[in-house]
Structure 1
């Protein structure tokens, strides 16, 4: 009897969590095979809504969002509902989604070229207008289903409490009111139900049972696909170099070009950089693809790649979810600044299914479409391998850091203009400090993991932007890697290595390199690594002392005329704190 009541409590907890999720109320965009004008437009980024004016009745209305980046690159569709926080609803070079949860108000759908919402490509506004009429059948069914689940929840709770008594089971109600001499074990059965719920979540979501069928075009799905493919990739027999990073490294580094250039030197590059993959996720990526900590000859770790807004917390948690374990709950949660982010991160480690709610609802609504998309996993990986970057640039754009004046050429589209302006927004002091701490802690975790490994850690800067000093992207060496004594051999490239790329001709927006910049960045990075092969010992380990490296770049920072005084102030402050 106790086991039955425990199971009932587990069901009650699951229903409560499911009902509390907005995903259960239809807050997930549905896939659709119908095309739109946006999907048929080539060359120019477009996004369209059909219709843009939605008649909302008692439940909700629907509109179809179609988008196309115009050049085959990955696009990110965000929606801002009635002034609330932007939420990602779709991802891909082109496609369409049926949004079935439009209510009275304004919904701004924006197509971005990156997950950090820096490069705005196109936008469309959908207006929900209240109109008299009968509610749609779909909305009515959703409302009926919701109330049915509420009724089931109360019924389950009632019978769980009723069956918690340790006395004999009653087969009929007594004629006179009676009281049981046995105490009700409500707390015990509640704990048993919670334990059963955690076990079910572990079996389903902490194994490959569900992660193998995640939507390949979602953040969690792409991370699962990339890490799974790399983990099971056979060794090439060469000196393999793994490249980490977010969208700036994903757009800026080409593994195909690097392998062609370094074939004579016996190197093979593997790029697992992915948009929205922040520095606090890299440690878990390495743990997944390199369990022994000795698989790679070197690991390239970028630093100074800009700040991460707190609004991106749900996105980062979702992306990291396929890699998280129970023991990560405290360490992973501590990387977030807001308590809401910490709670979500902690919950995602214990109940991983909480991070997959949207994906699960989409799977239940479109199982056939999900099955077809999962079968295209090899195509997804191939598209990453053959991607050559974007051809557009922002030549003619200039920025004066003293006055904050930006000059934009007439040929730029409105989306390009807004993307450049957004990239010049200066983060607050607290946001800057939070990001520096997250980047410093993330890099230190990687160094600690490989402290006893022959794998060399290569710290590399990235181009700061097309104007050689973007407010939110200029981070110095010491800010990310202060002079903390360590026995780990670290190769750090000079901060001025990629200064020649900090020109508008090498960028397609305010943060990301275009195809020309991608080629230059890859060639320079490979040349630097190949040049240090002469210092490699017989077992393939690079010689470099972290203290010497830090001291050498300390003089390099202060000797660089185009480094801002604000960066030096931050760097010196962090160095003093470290010492």
Structure 2
């Protein structure tokens, strides 16, 4: 009996040991299955960013199609032969305006390299050192649009070998990624579990919790994305010359600006208002009436971007005495969905995923917009790749924020016009004035390219849907909403430009506010003498537009008390405090 009992105890202990070991292996297996997805994501990220330098040209071509200002060098790392080498510089201002390319060598002063709205030119004099090619919007180098750094490298025996090993490492990372993915699937599978190798498997006594581990992995990934991209950490290092970087920079500056103590008027808009309105001149004209003007007009910004900008800079809905919202004929190509998502991304929150996505026509655009609200990093893919490639240049550019702000404030507009230029609507031919240079003519031709009807309708749809949302946000606020038409252009006989303003915004929307400017307010500006291309006012038109707008606002705001909250406690007492709604 004692021998049988001892044998039974040994078998029982052996079974318990096996059971304990099996559970331990199951836990280890489950934990490993949870960790492996992180390794896969990490290696995939390294793989994608490792090829950033090879993808620069492709990203640049895509940016050109979306209207972004770009400048590239092919190659940007020049291998020198007999002490010198060459590179091809390509640039595009993105909107048809004249660009000025300057080059700055090591310990050298900037020198004008090329001009024109876009083009390419070879620089055959690259020597050992660094060359910075900068694309400016003006000859005085006040408005930096984009830049690229070219490095001249002497030939060494190690260079080809390094390139070879770099390619091999990338392929090795791909193989490791595939192997990790395979083992992740294998270890996460349910069923039998081998206790030793190569004995027959036995059934695992514990659950692997595959769904739980997957949920933990997704949650951790969202937390990492939120900590980096939603917290404002990465927004602070966005490329300042990108659309997203400029939106983030001007919005943050306005958020941090101290109250002036005057009746502040916020002006929204796209490139037409950015070129056509001068806040400095407006301040001079409106100072006698106690008005202070702030412009958040930004090229390529549409009505949905304005909504989120206003939400960030005026959370109480009482900061401004008035908000000027322009409307008019324009176009918004569906191909620029990625651009609009990227430039609005710094302003988005998790709760905006459905609201923001609803503003896009195509399901692909809606999906990308939805994803950008949840996984903000998806909207900054190109920016992250550029930062990894040139971190030092990015940080130096960020430090020049005060210079960019000053350039924006002192900008006076383009100093040439289209007098003597005419457009024949029948033959659709344009006759240029002799005084225009070939570069200016090319810019005008590009601006005359007519958008498709769907692009025009999409622009109207955005205005009809998002401008009322801004108005609704201030429906119970003392802030006055001022709707103003935008001058249509120097050639109103162009197809689409003769469209009446009430076809842009229905009268029901315009009549909701008593401060709307009449449709004919700026008709006197629709002449070649006030424009430098088919869409944008020149310096003279900028002055006349600003003078007229300020004059209209002074007359309309004088009759009502729209003093903002910081200078009128009685207004708060009458209306009561407004609750802040982050969703609106």
TM range (shorter): 0.7 to 0.9
| Pairs within 5 Å for 1:325-404 | 325-404=349-428
Paired position in structure 1 for 2:122: 50
Distance of 1:446 and 1:488 partners within structure 2: 12
Query: Aligned in 2, Cα 1:470/1:235: closer, same or farther, shift over 3 Å?
Result: farther
CA contact (8 A) 1:393 1:504 kept: yes
Q: 1:257 to 1:141 in 2, by over 3 A?
A: farther
1:23 Cα deviation from its structure 2 partner: 6.7
| TM-score normalised by structure 2 residue count | 0.74
Residue 55 (structure 2) pairs with residue 27 (structure 1): yes
- Which residue matches 2:312? 288
Q: Hey, what's the Cα distance between the residues in 2 that align with 1:514 and 1:141?
A: 54
The Cα of 1:38 is off from its aligned counterpart by 4.1
CA–CA distance in 2 between the matches of 1:292 and 1:305?
31
Q: Which residue of 1 aligns with 2:221?
A: 197
Secondary structure at the aligned position of 2:454 is classed as helix
Q: 1:470 to 1:238 in 2, by over 3 A?
A: farther
Counterpart Cα distance in 1 of 2:318 and 2:190: 56
Aligned-pair distance for 1:176? 1.6
In structure 2, the CA distance between the partners of 1:74 and 1:302, relative to structure 1 (3 Å rule), is: farther
Given candidates 112, 129, 142, the residue that maps to 1:41 is 112
Correspondence list, 1:215-230, <5 A:
215-230=239-254
User: Does 2:508 align with 1:508?
Assistant: no
- 1:48-447 to structure 2, matched below 5 A, reads 48-50=120-122, 67-72=135-140, 92-93=144-145, 95-97=147-149, 140=164, 142-161=166-185, 163-164=187-188, 173-181=196-204, 182=206, 184-447=208-471
CA contact (8 A) 1:50 1:65 kept: no
Shift of residue 358, structure 1, vs aligned partner? 1.4
* Structure 1: distance between partners of 2:142 and 2:299: 10
Offset at 1:344?
1.7
SS at match of 1:382: helix
Deviation at 1:221, TM superposition (A): 0.9
How much does 1:456 deviate? 0.7
Distance 1:495 1:199, change over 3 A: same
Question: Which structure: greater helix fraction?
Answer: 2
- Cα gap change, 1:486 to 1:432, in 2 (>3 Å): closer
Q: What are the residue-to-residue correspondences of 1:478-493 with 2, within 5 Å?
A: 478-484=502-508, 489-493=513-517
Structure 2 vs 1, CA of residues 527 and 146 (structure 1 numbering), >3 Å: closer, same or farther? same
Q: C-alpha deviations, 1:223-269, integer Å up to 9, x for none?
A: 11110010111000111011111111111100000000100000000
Per-residue displacement from partner, 1:125-181 (whole Å, max 9, x unpaired)?
xxxxxxxxx9966754553343233233234334434554799998x8523241543
| 8 Å CA contact retained: 1:41, 1:70 | no
Q: Give the RMSD, CA atoms, in angstroms.
A: 3.6
CA distance in 2 between partners of 1:212 and 1:206 (Å)? 11
Which residue matches 1:5? Answer: 33
Distance in 1 between the 2:427 and 2:285 partners?
42
Q: Distance in 2 between matches of 1:234 and 1:33?
A: 45
Preserved CA contact (<8 Å) 2:414 2:538: yes
Shift of 1:383: 1.3
Cα contact 1:66–1:96 (8 A) shared by 2? yes
CA contact (8 A) 2:278 2:412 kept: yes
Looking at CA atoms only, which structure, 1 or 2, has the larger radius of gyration? Answer: 2
Task: Give the 3 Å change call, closer, same or farther, for CA 155–72 of structure 1 in structure 2.
Answer: farther
Cα 1:253–1:5 change in 2 (3 A) is: same
Q: Does the aligned pair in 1 maintain the 2:268–2:296 contact within 8 Å? A: yes
Q: Which runs of 5+ in 2 are unaligned?
A: 1-27, 58-71, 79-86, 90-99, 103-110, 125-130, 153-157, 566-584
Counterpart contact for 1:241–1:270, Cα < 8 Å:
yes
Structure 1 residue 304: Cα displacement: 0.6
SS in 1 for 2:56: coil
Mapped contact 1:288–1:323 kept (Cα < 8 A): yes
Q: Secondary structure at the match of 1:426?
A: coil
In 1, Cα distance between equivalents of 2:162 and 2:140: 34
Structure 1 gap ranges (5+)? 53-62, 76-91, 101-133, 542-579
CA contact (8 A) 2:238 2:244 kept: yes
> 2:101 touches 2:114 (CA, 8 Å); kept in 1?
no
CA contact under 8 A between 1:333 and 1:343: conserved in structure 2? Answer: yes
How has the CA–CA distance of structure 1 residues 3 and 415 changed in structure 2, closer, same or farther, with 3 Å as cutoff? farther
C-alpha deviation, 1:94, in angstroms: 6.5
What CA distance in whole angstroms lies between the structure 1 residues aligned with 2:168 and 2:256?
46
Q: Does the aligned pair in 1 maintain the 2:229–2:376 contact within 8 Å?
A: yes
Moved more, 240-249 or 414-423: 414-423
Structure 1: how far apart are the matches of 2:410 and 2:401?
Answer: 15
- TM-score calculated relative to the size of structure 1: 0.74
